[in-house]
Structure 1
Amino acid sequence: MRLSVFITSNLDSILRDWVAFAGKQLPAARDMDHVALLDHGRTILEEIVVNMDRVEGEAERKIKSEGTSLEASTSANVPSRSHARQRESQGFEIGQMVAEYRALRATVLRLWQAAHPQLQDQDLEDMVRFNEAIDQALAESVDVFVEEVDRARDLFLGMMGHDLRGPLSTIASCAAIGLRQRPDDSRHALLTLRSVGQMKALLNDLMEFTARRLGKGIAIAPAPLQLDEFARHTLDEINAVYPERILALQNHGDMQGQWDRTRLHQALSNLVFNALKYGDAALPIDVVIDGSRQDEVQLTVHSVGKPIAPHLLPRLFDPLVRELRDGDSDSDASRLPLAGANLGLGLYVVREIALAHGGSVNVVSQGANTAFTLSLPRVPPTGGA
């Protein structure tokens, strides 16, 4: 009997073993009934049979073995994909779901061999086609399962970041009141405000990162903005928390354009915080705005300190890349004054804000000098307000 015919004729007995195995996947399966344990098992097997009976040439067989089958459906409703989403929502681990396919493969072949002890020439081809179909279904399930896990994690992180803003605002307000009431004893209030600022920066970056991963991207609302005045206000705000550091602003040319004030504040703050963290504390951070070009403005944040490791430069703006300067180690970085403000997302967010404006950001690090330059069209491609 051909293997595909055997599977169709023995679906119930095969699926009994599927349910029995799924019921052993604890703790997720502890309170699941027969229907929940069976899930998409029947439709997965039916899809496998269709896959096995489909006529395929040698070229299709080769790309199928490489996981790039032209015949594979991209629909989200393919049984293996639906099964993955269901198992993830039921609390299964990915290893438990993979084990289901391993057990399914073993069950089918064991039952088929018992009912069909004498192998024929066509049986080897049937086994190859069956294994290919199982592997395709497994690959589809794993891809979707991982996507669902990532999505759930990103949603959690986004909600957590949003909910933490309230308590932080309360802490900042209390510290600001203390600073006004006791200006001669401001050390603790400034320390609190500094820590709150770092935490807010981290949460903002985290929320931008999760929004991007959830497919929302970074939305901007451009409006007329005088860039030098905006930069001065941003630097004054940072200087209020870090009064011991020198933040110098230079500008020339036309400062007018249409940009998203909130997003640009986030980008400039991230670049300045990065410079404060890695630059020499005894030397100023220079912010230079070049408005000499007709269609574009360049904003550069320059610091003096240890250079960025050359191997890190090409991926410095990628998410979750933590910047180490030449000669530093992870333990050195943890002792830097602003070490707490580093999830490896700050520069990534700067890049995404630049791209949302139709611009770019780049870095040059030579010797003791490091400069990040944000290039922004005066009017983003999407238009202004």
Structure 2
Amino acid sequence: MPEHPPIRLADFIEENMEQILQAWEDFARTIEPPALTMDDAALRDHARQMLHAFASDLATAQTALQQAEKSKGLAARGHRDTAAETHAEARLQSGYTVVQLVSEYRALRSSVLTLWSAVRTGVATDMADVTRFNEAVDQAVAESVARYEQMVKQSQNMFLAILGHDLRNPLGTVVSGSSFIMQAVDIPPKYVLAANRIFNSSQRMSRLIADLIDFTRTHLGPGIPVKVRQANLARVCRTVVDELRTSHPEQIVAMTAPEHLDAIFDEGRIAQVLSNLVGNAIQYGTHDAPVTVRMVADDRLVTLTVNNHGPVVPADRIPALFDPMVRMATDSPDTLVERTSLGLGLFIARQIVQAHDGRIEVVSDAQEGTTFTVTLPRQPETFLAPRPAPGRGGYAEEALARISPAG
């Protein structure tokens, strides 16, 4: 039997492209659901681009450092989307799962190596070529999975944003209708009581929806919108504390603050921060100890602290308190009914504080209780600077347009 001439894997891929593509296409047709948006030509085009990229990589010299980086999925890349990223987007739109996406690369790897093994010559370059090929495939898998995950998260956030926005109109009707019934004087008291309960429940739903919209804004766009002006920060905080005292008469809320404190800030957003922090302190603190709010300032900074006494937050849990969907731990059964939040309050508070060029910190121990400290500049140097959205346009821009403050 005649001996095949030596051939490098890069050359083999280029010379046997159609045979490799056919083997991969046969496998792709076995995956359910079948591709909804890609015909055979498009499927082959994606695979052809990736195979050309693999062959080009094999033919390019690399250093030991470059090889180590590639093995970790950290290879250098250009500014344009890679073929693997483009393929991931198309597969997501076709309804493929990430498991099915990865299985395609496994099939592509198998197709190349199985066909090449039939003609391999056993020269010293074989093992090096196989290693380089596997590294290139692994890099493509990493790029595809990363893009797939990014697109899934973007789609989920877009759905939540539009859902939250579209719920506001019917909820507004419920609030208006229940408020109208509450003011009636010619209906039985039991109906007024029912309307009052509907109104209060609708108000809680409205706050949940507002938190949901703020959360999706931080993921789809440049962050929570903030409109600043010079105002009396002490007055805003005092108003929030008075409102919480009214809604929680069972809890003592003590406040120490100057009568007047000028600063540049967004009144509504800072009120939202304080409402979240004090509400959190009331919910997780003990009713026999006061919640204490203190505000001090110098010419440059404002420091606002909110303290409560209750279960100590373990040190290992403190870094995660500001993550979304996280609630503080408590052993008190009295607070279980009140836990109707999404666990976004502290996350949103941190986003607002950071938008004001400030910071928020927390310490917790058995002696002093749990204290949240917000530090804000009285005159932020950088404010509302344009920041690119993490999304790639399209869905993200549509969602942001629908949940804009004017909407």
Same fold (TM over 0.5): yes
Structure 2 residue 174 is the aligned partner of structure 1 residue 171: yes
CA distance in 1, matches of 2:338, 2:279: 8
Equivalent position to 1:299, from 297, 304, 318: 304
**8 Å Cα contact 2:37/2:90 also seen in 1:** no
Matched letter for residue 346 of structure 2: L
Equivalent position to 1:110, from 89, 114, 117: 114
Which residue of the partner structure matches residue 232 of structure 2? 226
Superposition pairs of residues 154-165 of structure 1, within 5 angstroms:
154-165=157-168
3-state DSSP class of the match of 1:21? helix
**Distance 1:117-1:363 versus aligned 2 partners, 3 A rule:** closer
CA distance in 2, matches of 1:105, 1:172: 59
Equivalent position to 2:266, from 254, 257, 260: 260
Equivalent position to 2:130, from 85, 105, 127: 127
Structure 2 residue 315 is the aligned partner of structure 1 residue 310: yes
Q: Which has the higher contact order (CA 8 A, sep 6+)?
A: 2
Displacement of 1:184: 6.9
Displacement of 1:9: 1.0
Which residue of the partner structure matches residue 52 of structure 1? 58
Displacement of 1:156: 1.1
Matched letter for residue 340 of structure 1: T
**8 Å Cα contact 1:190/1:241 also seen in 2:** no
3-state DSSP class of the match of 2:137? helix
**Distance 1:39-1:196 versus aligned 2 partners, 3 A rule:** farther
Which residue of the partner structure matches residue 377 of structure 1? 377
Question: After the TM superposition, which of the residue ranges 45-54 and 147-156 deviates more from structure 2?
Answer: 147-156
Q: Deviations over 1:79-112 (max 9, x none)?
A: 1111112211222111111011000000111112
How many residues matched? Answer: 374
**Distance 1:297-1:57 versus aligned 2 partners, 3 A rule:** closer
Structure 2 residue 89 is the aligned partner of structure 1 residue 85: yes
Which residue of the partner structure matches residue 360 of structure 1? 359
CA distance in 2, matches of 1:235, 1:217: 26
Q: Which runs of 5+ in 2 are unaligned?
A: 1-6, 385-407
3-state DSSP class of the match of 1:29? coil
Which residue of the partner structure matches residue 79 of structure 2? 75
Q: Which runs of 5+ in 1 are unaligned?
A: none
Matched letter for residue 373 of structure 2: T
**8 Å Cα contact 1:194/1:242 also seen in 2:** no
Question: After the TM superposition, which of the residue ranges 52-61 and 99-108 deviates more from structure 2?
Answer: 52-61
Matched letter for residue 347 of structure 2: Y
**8 Å Cα contact 2:233/2:267 also seen in 1:** no
Displacement of 1:246: 4.4
3-state DSSP class of the match of 2:33? coil
3-state DSSP class of the match of 1:310? coil
**Distance 1:29-1:297 versus aligned 2 partners, 3 A rule:** same
Which residue of the partner structure matches residue 102 of structure 2? 98
CA distance in 2, matches of 1:231, 1:90: 51
TM-score with structure 1 setting the length: 0.87
Equivalent position to 1:149, from 126, 133, 152: 152
**Distance 1:37-1:156 versus aligned 2 partners, 3 A rule:** same
3-state DSSP class of the match of 2:349? helix
TM-score with structure 2 setting the length: 0.83
**8 Å Cα contact 1:308/1:324 also seen in 2:** yes
RMSD of aligned Cα (Å)? 2.7
Equivalent position to 2:140, from 134, 137, 140: 137
Q: Deviations over 1:282-301 (max 9, x none)?
A: 5543333324x222222222
CA distance in 2, matches of 1:264, 1:311: 28
CA distance in 2, matches of 1:374, 1:282: 25
Q: Deviations over 1:18-51 (max 9, x none)?
A: 2222222222426752134335111110010000
Displacement of 1:248: 4.1
Superposition pairs of residues 179-198 of structure 1, within 5 angstroms:
179-181=182-184, 188-198=194-204
3-state DSSP class of the match of 2:317? helix
CA distance in 1, matches of 2:172, 2:290: 29
**8 Å Cα contact 2:88/2:145 also seen in 1:** yes
Structure 2 residue 340 is the aligned partner of structure 1 residue 340: yes
Among all aligned residue pairs of Structure 1 and Structure 2, give the percentage whose two residues are the same amino acid. 36
3-state DSSP class of the match of 2:327? coil
**Distance 1:274-1:198 versus aligned 2 partners, 3 A rule:** farther
Q: Deviations over 1:93-138 (max 9, x none)?
A: 1111101100000011111223x15433221221111111111111
3-state DSSP class of the match of 2:268? helix
**Distance 1:46-1:103 versus aligned 2 partners, 3 A rule:** same
Matched letter for residue 103 of structure 1: A
**8 Å Cα contact 2:312/2:364 also seen in 1:** yes
CA distance in 1, matches of 2:34, 2:263: 56
Displacement of 1:238: 4.1
Displacement of 1:143: 1.1
Q: Deviations over 1:317-354 (max 9, x none)?
A: 233322113x46xxx59x5242111x332111111111
CA distance in 2, matches of 1:238, 1:248: 11
3-state DSSP class of the match of 2:306? strand
